[in-house]
């Protein structure tokens, strides 16, 4: 009897425990999420979680417009799956079809997206004009920041290439040194030959004089 009571208490506790988070707003949600987009929920599948009273949800979403992607755009170009579980009190469950402004994060172990009740998620029709303007501004800032980062990385690459290039002055000195070495060799050869001829002539002259 006590065991049954404890099990029942656990279920009641799970349902009572709520998600605690700071007041949600669009800017904070944008900054704290990895993936921000307009999506159409077109399919929802309930999956048993292991507890009879609680389910997991797999929500299929068609991605229409991306505002922030953290390099996931190619992977989630057209559609994605959002996972949520009733066992996790903060999970935002997309159990109704429709179009939403969605803030989500990426789960590397499963490849699913997951969202939170702490995010500023809204049905598409409920997003105000001011919110769209702010969203576009935040998205533009992220893209400019990414472009700046790419430019800085390219500059670093170019700088590395420049530093790895031989110094022009050093190259000129090396060429000049090679030229001087060749000139010295020619001078030495000429000197040796000239000296040898002079000694030969001198030897021949001495030989003829002695012969007389």
The CA distance from 68 to 113, in Å, is: 14
- Neighbouring C-alpha atoms within 13 Å toward the C-beta of 79: 10
* C-alpha 126: how far from chain center: 33
Instruction: Report whether 123 contacts 100 (CB < 8 A).
Output: yes
- Bridge partner residues of 45 (DSSP): 58
Confidence of residue 83 (pLDDT cuts 50, 70, 90): very high
Helix (H) or strand (E) holding 124: none
Q: Tokens 């999956």 sit at which residue?
A: 47
Report the Cα 100 to chain-centroid distance in Å: 27
Query: Using one digit for the tens of pLDDT, what is the confidence trace for 35-54?
Result: 999 999 999 999 888 777 88
Burial 12-26 (b: 16+ CB within 10 A, else e): eeeeeeeeeeeeeeb
CA angle 22-25-28, nearest 5°?
A: 80
Tens-place pLDDT, residues 96-130: 999 999 999 988 888 899 999 999 999 999 999 99
Structure tokens, 192: 């040796």
Residue 18 has pLDDT above 90, yes or no: no
The residue among 204 and 16 whose pLDDT is bigger is 204
Residue 178 vs residue 82, higher pLDDT: 82
**What integer pLDDT is reported at residue 109 of this predicted model?**
84
Q: Report yes or no: 39 and 100 within 8 Å, Cβ to Cβ.
A: yes
86 or 198, which is more confident? 86
Per-residue pLDDT, 30: 95
Largest CA distance in the chain: 146
């Amino acid at each position: 009897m006590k065991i049954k009571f404890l099990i029942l208490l656990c279920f009641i506790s799970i349902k009572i425990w709520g998600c605690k988070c700071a007041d949600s707003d669009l800017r904070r949600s944008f900054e704290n999420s990895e993936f921000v987009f307009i999506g159409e929920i077109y399919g929802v599948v309930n999956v048993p979680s292991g507890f009879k009273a609680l389910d997991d949800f797999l929500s299929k979403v068609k991605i229409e417009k991306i505002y922030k992607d953290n390099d996931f755009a190619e992977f989630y170009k057209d559609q994605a799956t959002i996972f949520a579980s009733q066992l996790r009190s903060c999970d935002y469950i997309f159990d109704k079809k429709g179009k939403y402004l969605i803030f989500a994060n990426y789960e590397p172990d499963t490849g699913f997206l997951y969202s939170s009740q702490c995010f500023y998620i809204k049905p598409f029709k409920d997003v105000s004009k001011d919110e769209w303007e702010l969203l576009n501004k935040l998205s533009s800032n992220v893209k400019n920041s990414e472009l700046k980062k790419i430019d800085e990385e390219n500059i670093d690459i170019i700088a590395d290439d420049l530093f790895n290039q031989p110094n022009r002055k050093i190259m000129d000195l090396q060429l000049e040194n090679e030229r001087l070495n060749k000139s010295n060799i020619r001078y030495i050869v000429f000197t040796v030959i000239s000296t040898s001829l002079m000694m030969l002539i001198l030897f021949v002259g001495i030989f003829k004089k002695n012969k007389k």
